[in-house]
Structure formats: C-alpha cells, structure tokens
Structure 1
Amino acid sequence: MTTLLCTVAALSAALVPASVAPASAHPGGTASARSAAPPEPVVVDCFSEAQRRPKEYLLACGDGNNRLVGLRWHTWGPRTARATGTDMVNDCRPYCAAGRFRAYPVKVTLSHPEAWPEEPGVQRFTLIRLVYTDTAPAPVPDDVTYKLVY
C-alpha cells in the first residue's frame, strides 16, 4: 500500500505543469517572477461586478437616489484608492419620484481591502469615505464613512 501511494505521489508531481510550480522552483527564475505584485483590489458594485477606477459608482442600490459621478482616480493601490468627483443625491422633495438631483463635490477614499468570497484570490475594498468639499446633503456630515456590503 505504501509503495502504491508513493508511486501515485511521484506520478502526480511529474504531471504538474511547470507553469503552476512556485517561481522559486524554477532554476534561474527572475526576481520579478518570484515577487510579482498581487492584483489590484476592486470595488464591487450593486450588481456584484468587480470594478477598477469606475467613472461612476452607485451608492444607493435599492432606489438609485445617490450616485458618484465624474470620478477621477488619483491613486489606486493595494490598500487605498483616492478620487474626486460629484455625489448626485436626490433631495426627495416632496417625495423621491418628484425630487431633484443635487450635486455635491466630494473626495472619495476606498480602503480596508479584504478577500472577496465570491472571487478567490481577489481583494475588494470594504470601506468608502466621502469628504464633502463644499456642503454635504442634509443630514449627512461633511465627512462620512460607509461599509461596502455588496
């Protein structure tokens, strides 16, 4: 039985293609192959789609009454991403269907990447911080952080 297991293990190792072996196992492998940067984190949208540097981002998935538009990403790194843009918020006066969308200039920071359970090996940002550079939509504070739960 032990001989059979050793034979199976040896055959399995011989059948593994070199492309899936660790870089350090390749003689003469380059340093860049061994220290390749992990893929950039993503921000997950309302439809569970991974986005990198989106120009728009829907904050109110249920009714669409709050959306970031005109996003200009200044950084997108392994721990944070920063942008400026406009938060378009429906004032819902006298009710949301009759309300008007109002523009609020905003600085956006994505942070706290964590493993995305739906996509193994992918990190997703889990917090979004909005800092309003002029006024904030009432009753929102000028600096607010939300957990991204998509």
Structure 2
Amino acid sequence: MRMHKVNTAVTLGAVALLTAAMGTASAAPPAGRTPHPQPAHPVIVDCVWHPQVRPADFMIACGDGNSSLSSLRWSHWDQGSATASGVNVVNDCKPYCAAGRFHSYPVTVRLDHPQPWKKNPRVQHYTQMSLVYTDGRPDGFDRVVTYSLWN
C-alpha cells in the first residue's frame, strides 16, 4: 500500500513538472516580438504553399513534376523583381510522359509583379515568372516563356 502511494506521488510530481515545462514552452513571445517575422522582400510560393526566398530549386509543373528549375543562383531579389540563372529540367514526354526522358536547358529566370499573397496578405509574392532559354530549348517552346504563378 505504501509503495502505491509513493508511485502515485512520483507520477503526480512528474506530471506537474511536465505541465509547467510545456506551459513555459508555449507561452506567448515577449512583447514587441512576433513568432513569425514577415519577409522583407517578396517570396515565391512553392507547390506545397511554402513561401521561399532565393530557392536553389523550384518545381514549375506541380501536378506531374515534368518541369522544374535547379541550380538557381540569384543575382537580384528586391521589392519589384528577382533574377537568377539556372537550369530548366524538362521531360520530353516521348512517346508519353511516363516513358519520357528529362533534358536540361540553361535559363535566366525573372520573377515579377509582386502582389499580396492570399494565404497571408501581409506577405508579397511574385505572381509572374519568365524563363529565357540561353542555349537550346524544349521542342515547341519559345525562347522566352512566361508563367503566371499560383496564389
């Protein structure tokens, strides 16, 4: 019986300590600090709705993954636009996409037209992406291709 009382007391003490520790961890941040600071410059929103700043890679074709950007090196990123060089990796879908091969094409990427992001209107996000193919391009693509980015 005495051992049962000791175990109960130890368990209750551990619960109290754990509750106190969790209460401290979840307390509000100190006055004047926000838990998630807003980016100083516009962002680009990825396929899973995460805001990105100067990403090294970016999926263009979220639905099937048949076009992406890789090895991005950003030379400019400000309130009005952003510029990078990198590679557009594109599936040729020949004879069909599941059997197609991926090819890499050097590109210059430009992001433009920042607007408030619907998910968080205090954050500006780029709404347009232009790719300029600098050495070859996928069949049927113009030298400059412009995409509207999701909101």
TM range (shorter): 0.7 to 0.9
Partner AA of 1:146 in structure 2: Y
Identical pairs, percent? 50
Name the counterpart of 2:69: 68
Tell me, yes or no, if structure 1 residue 95 matches structure 2 residue 96: yes
Q: Deviations over 1:19-52 (max 9, x none)?
A: 59xxxxxxxxxxxxxxxxx721000011111000
CA–CA separation in structure 2 for the residues paired with 1:100 and 1:66: 11
Aligned partner letter, 2:63: G
Larger Rg: 2
Q: CA deviation at 1:144?
A: 1.3
SS in 1 for 2:98: helix
Structure 1 spans left out of the alignment, 5+ residues:
1-17, 21-37
The separation in 2 between residues aligned to 1:123 and 1:149, in whole angstroms, is 13
Alpha-carbon separation, structure 1, partners of 2:48 and 2:127:
15
- Per the normalisation by structure 1, the TM-score is 0.74
Cα distance per residue 1:71-99 (max 9 Å; x no partner): 00001111000000000000011111111
Partners of 1:104 and 1:44 in 2: CA distance: 23
CA root-mean-square deviation: 1.6
* 4+ runs deviating over 6 angstroms: none
Aligned residue pairs total: 116
TM-score by length of 2: 0.73
1:1-150 equivalent positions in 2, closer than 5 A: 19=32, 39-150=40-151
